[in-house]
Amino acid sequence: MKTVIIATKNEGKAKEFESLFQAKGYKVKTLLDVPHSPDVEETGTTFEENAILKAEAIAKEYNQVVVADDSGLIVDALDGRPGVYSARYAGEEKNDEANTNKVLRELAGVPKEKRTARFYCALAVASPNQETITVSGTIEGIITEQPVGDNGFGYDPIFLVEELGKTTAELTKEEKNKISHRANALKALEDKLDAFLKEEGK
Ligand SMILES: O=c1nc[nH]c2c1ncn2[C@H]1C[C@H](O)[C@@H](COP(=O)(O)OP(=O)(O)OP(=O)(O)O)O1
Ligand SMILES: [Mg+2]
């Protein structure tokens, strides 16, 4: 089976990508499978910039085609925060519970109609032999008053998908993978990735 390398150390993302790419006939390998892989500093000011930084650094390190995901939560009432700082919103140690609690605290007293938000996912594909490409995807939601659901990762327990009446942490992986920002970005990537891999084989 064809293997695609994803430059992520996030277990939640890795699981979603495994199932998203499995449907396309690819096996997924992530940095969680590679001991001592480098930590890439996310110094960009946009999701795209950070996805490019991660994809290019890992592509160069392993001389391979690499996909990277930079994603996060954009809350309208917080002027777009946590945004690119989503992973480290409550501190460098990347604590999902602390991050979600910080968002809930900052939104205390904000009424439902003003709790609009979206998840954003930028994907970059890089190789030492080609120009890097990027795509993106989003999903709209409402920030809940408290965490609900045990599935998923990150901000899933506070992200309500209104049409479904459920948070993304109440969805199965399969259900989330039909509608998520990551799934939508991957749809946008599909043809471009095929062309990229074809060019690589020449
Ligand atoms: O579907 C999602 N459901 C809930 N939360 C999510 C989702 N997608 C991204 N997020 C949150 C998690 C983390 O707080 C940040 C990503 O930060 P981001 O730098 O892209 O990932 P990361 O540092 O966890 O792993 P890595 O950089 O190795 O891929 O946004
Ligand atoms: Mg990161």
Domain residue ranges of the chain, discontinuous segments joined by +: 2-200
**ipTM for the predicted complex:** 0.99
Q: Which of 177, 152, 175 is nearest to 165 (CA)?
A: 175
Question: DSSP state, 134?
Answer: E
Spacing, Cα 109 to ligand 2 middle (Å):
30
Q: What mean pLDDT comes out for the span 97-112?
A: 98
pLDDT at residue 102 is higher than 90: yes
Calpha distance 48→68 (Å, rounded)? 10
Question: What pLDDT, in 10s, does the model give residues 24-67?
Answer: 999 999 999 999 999 999 999 999 999 999 999 999 999 999 99
State the DSSP string of 13-38.
Answer: HHHHHHHHHHTTTEEEEEGGGSTTPP
Find the 43 Cα to ligand 2 centroid distance in Å: 10
Q: What is the pLDDT of residue 201?
A: 82
Which atom number of ligand 1 is nearest to the Cα of residue 96?
14
Distance separating alpha carbons of residues 58 and 5, to the nearest angstrom: 9
Q: What percent of the chain has pLDDT over 70?
A: 100
Give yes or no for a contact between 18 and 29, defined as CB atoms under 8 angstroms apart: no
Direct distance between the N- and C-terminal alpha carbons of the chain, in angstroms, rounded to an integer: 19
Fold topology of 2-200: Maf protein (3.90.950)
pLDDT for the residue 93: 86
pLDDT band at residue 1, thresholds of 50, 70 and 90? confident
Does residue 106 carry a pLDDT above 80?
A: yes
Instruction: State the average pLDDT for the chain.
Output: 97
Catalytic machinery residues:
70
> How far apart (Å, rounded) are the C-alpha atoms in residues 97 and 86?
12
Q: Quickly state the pLDDT bin for 200 (edges 50, 70, 90).
A: very high
pTM of the model: 0.97
Question: Alpha helix (H) ranges present in 126-172?
Answer: none
Give distance in angstroms: CA of 134 to centre of ligand 1: 17
Query: What residues sit around ligand 2, an ion, with C-beta below 5 angstroms?
Result: 87
Ligand 1, residue 88: give the atom nearest the CA.
14
Which ligand number lies closest to the CA of residue 13?
Answer: 1
179 has a pLDDT exceeding 90? yes
Phi/psi of residue 194, nearest 5 degrees: -55, -45
